[in-house]
C-alpha cells in the first residue's frame, strides 16, 4: 500500500472515530496505526451532535445499533442562573425542502414586531420538551427534525474500534516512541497541544472542546479534521504546502467554534468576549443577517440562540423575502398546528 504512514495517539472515542472515518475516506492510501497512549479514555455518557450522522452512514453504523446504548438528542440544554434553563433546538424551522425559508420569513415579521413565538415553530423543540411523534408523521415534519445522540462512551468506543479494525487500521502492542510515521496524529482526550499541522505532527485539538459542555464541539472538530486530512493527504514532497492549507481551513473553523462557545456562555448568563460573535450580533440587529458558515451550527440554530438572548433585527434581508407578511403568518399558523397535532396524536 503506497502513501504516507500515519499513526494516531489515543485510545478513546476521538482516536477510534478519527481512525475509522479517515480509513474509510482514504482506504487506498498509506497505512494507519493507532497507538494507545495514556491517559485512559473517558467513560460515562457522551453527546454527539447531528453532524455525526454522516460519519455513521459512511461507517454503516445503523441508528438501531446506537439505540441499544443511547438515546436521541434533539438540541442543547444550557443551565442558567437560579435553575433557569435555555433550550436551543437542532433541526430547521419549517420544511427545509420547501421554497421560502420559514426562518427568513420569521425574521421579517420579527423586525416588524409581529412574529409569533419562535419556539412554537420547531418540531425539535417540541421533542426536547417531551413531545412524541405520532405513528404516521407528516414527511415535511420529519424533514425538519435533526437529532444527535447521547450514548455510553465505552460501548460507543468499542463500536468505533471494531469499525476501524475491520477497515484495516492497525493496533500493535508497541510503545508510542517506537512507531515510525510520516504524520503523527495526536487524538488523546486530554492533549493540550496547539491545534493544527506542524511539521510531522498533527494535533486535532478537540480536547479543549470536550463533551462536558452543552454542545460537543470535540466531535465536530474531529469529523472535519478527518475529512480535511483525507482531502489534503499528500505525497511526501507536498506535505509542507498542504499542511499550510490545512491550518488555513482550521483557522476558519476554530473562529466559528469559538464564537459558538462564547454564545453558550452568554446564554448561561455570563460574559464571554468574542469579536466574531459581536460582529454576528451587529449584522443581525442591523440587517437581519445570520451567520452563513455551516460550521459548527446551522443558520436556524443561530437564530434560536439570538432569539433566546432577545436580539431583534431592525430590518430583514430583502434578497430572502419570498412572501408577504400575511402569507407568512398563515404559514406559521399551519406549521405550528402541524407540530401541535403530532403532539396530541401521540398522547
Tell me the per-residue pLDDT of 218-227, one tens digit each, with 9 for 90 and over: 888 889 999 9
Continuous H helices in 233-274:
239-267
Contact residues for 55 (Cβ-Cβ < 8 A; gap 6+): 17, 21, 223
What average pLDDT does range 167-173 have in this prediction? 89
The overall average pLDDT reported for the chain is 87
CATH number at residue 182: 3.50.50.60
What are 225's three cell numbers?
479534521
Return the sign of the alpha-carbon dihedral for residues 210, 215, 218, 219.
positive
Least confident of 34-43, 108-117, 132-141, 273-282: 34-43
Return the sign of the alpha-carbon dihedral for residues 181, 186, 189, 192.
positive
pTM value is 0.89
What are 126's three cell numbers?
417540541
- Please report, for the chain, how many H helices and E strands are present, in that order: 12, 10
Which pLDDT score, from 0 to 100, does residue 211 have?
A: 45
In the chain, % of residues over pLDDT 70: 91
Which pLDDT score, from 0 to 100, does residue 173 have?
A: 77
Please report whether residue 315 resides in a domain: no
Least confident of 30-39, 92-101, 114-123, 234-243: 234-243
Q: For 52-84, give the DSSP string.
A: HHHHHHHTT--HHHHHTTEEEE-EEEEE-GGG-
Which pLDDT score, from 0 to 100, does residue 117 have?
A: 94
CB 28 within 8 A of CB 205: no
Please report whether residue 114 resides in a domain: no
What are 322's three cell numbers?
419570498
pLDDT(309) > 50: yes
pLDDT(70) > 90: yes
What strand order describes the sheet that includes 31-35? Answer: 31-35, 5-9, 183-186, 201-203, 196-198
d(CA 213, CA 314): 32
Please report whether residue 168 resides in a domain: yes
d(CA 68, CA 162): 16
Please report whether residue 295 resides in a domain: yes
d(CA 4, CA 29): 7
Strand partners, 89: 75
d(CA 291, CA 110): 17
pLDDT(261) > 60: yes
CB 121 within 8 A of CB 94: yes
Higher pLDDT, 206 or 212: 206
Which pLDDT score, from 0 to 100, does residue 154 have?
A: 93
pLDDT(39) > 70: no
What average pLDDT does range 125-152 have in this prediction? 90
Q: How many domains does the chain have?
A: 1
Please report whether residue 156 resides in a domain: yes
Which range in 89-98, 160-169, 287-296 is most confidently predicted, on average pLDDT?
160-169
CB 134 within 8 A of CB 347: no
Which pLDDT score, from 0 to 100, does residue 217 have?
A: 83
Give, to the nearest 10 degrees, the angle between helix 239-267 and helix 299-308: 30
Please report whether residue 313 resides in a domain: no
Which pLDDT score, from 0 to 100, does residue 15 have?
A: 92
Please report whether residue 271 resides in a domain: yes
pLDDT(58) > 50: yes
Containing structural domain, residue 85: 5-90+146-308
Higher pLDDT, 28 or 66: 66
Least confident of 98-102, 181-185, 210-214: 210-214
Amino acid at each position: 500500500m503506497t502513501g504516507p504512514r500515519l499513526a494516531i495517539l489515543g485510545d478513546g472515542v476521538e482516536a477510534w472515530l478519527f481512525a475509522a472515518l479517515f480509513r474509510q475516506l482514504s482506504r487506498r492510501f498509506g497505512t494507519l496505526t493507532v497507538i494507545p497512549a495514556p491517559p485512559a479514555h473517558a467513560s460515562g455518557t457522551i453527546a454527539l451532535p447531528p453532524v455525526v450522522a454522516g460519519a455513521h452512514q459512511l461507517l454503516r453504523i445503523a441508528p438501531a445499533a446506537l439505540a441499544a446504548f443511547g438515546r436521541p438528542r434533539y438540541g442543547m440544554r444550557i443551565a442558567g442562573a437560579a435553575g433557569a434553563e435555555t433550550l436551543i433546538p437542532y433541526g430547521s424551522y419549517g420544511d427545509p425542502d420547501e421554497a421560502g425559508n420559514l426562518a427568513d420569513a420569521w425574521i421579517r415579521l420579527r423586525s416588524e414586531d409581529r412574529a409569533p413565538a419562535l419556539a412554537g415553530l420547531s418540531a425539535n423543540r417540541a421533542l426536547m420538551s417531551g413531545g412524541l411523534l405520532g405513528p404516521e408523521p407528516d414527511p415535511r415534519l420529519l424533514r425538519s427534525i435533526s437529532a444527535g445522540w447521547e450514548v455510553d462512551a465505552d460501548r460507543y468506543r468499542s463500536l468505533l474500534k471494531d469499525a476501524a479494525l475491520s477497515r484495516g487500521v492497525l493496533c500493535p502492542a508497541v510503545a508510542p516512541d517506537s512507531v515510525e510515521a510520516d504524520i503523527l496524529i495526536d487524538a488523546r482526550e486530554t492533549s493540550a497541544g496547539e491545534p493544527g499541522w506542524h511539521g510531522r505532527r498533527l494535533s486535532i485539538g478537540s480536547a479543549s472542546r470536550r463533551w462536558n459542555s452543552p454542545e460537543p464541539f470535540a466531535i465536530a472538530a474531529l469529523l472535519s479534521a478527518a475529512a480535511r486530512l483525507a482531502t489534503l493527504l499528500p505525497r511526501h514532497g507536498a506535505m509542507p504546502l498542504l499542511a499550510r492549507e490545512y491550518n488555513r481551513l482550521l483557522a476558519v473553523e476554530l473562529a466559528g467554534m469559538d464564537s459558538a462557545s462564547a454564545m453558550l456562555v452568554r446564554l448561561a448568563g455570563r460574559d464571554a468576549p468574542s469579536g466574531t460573535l459581536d460582529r454576528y450580533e451587529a449584522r443581525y440587529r442591523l440587517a437581519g443577517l445570520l451567520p452563513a458558515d455551516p460550521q459548527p451550527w446551522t443558520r436556524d440554530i443561530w437564530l434560536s440562540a439570538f432569539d433566546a438572548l432577545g436580539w431583534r433585527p431592525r430590518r430583514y434581508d430583502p434578497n430572502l423575502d419570498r412572501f408577504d407578511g400575511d402569507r407568512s403568518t398563515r404559514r406559521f399558523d399551519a406549521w405550528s398546528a402541524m407540530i401541535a397535532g403530532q403532539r396530541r396524536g401521540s398522547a
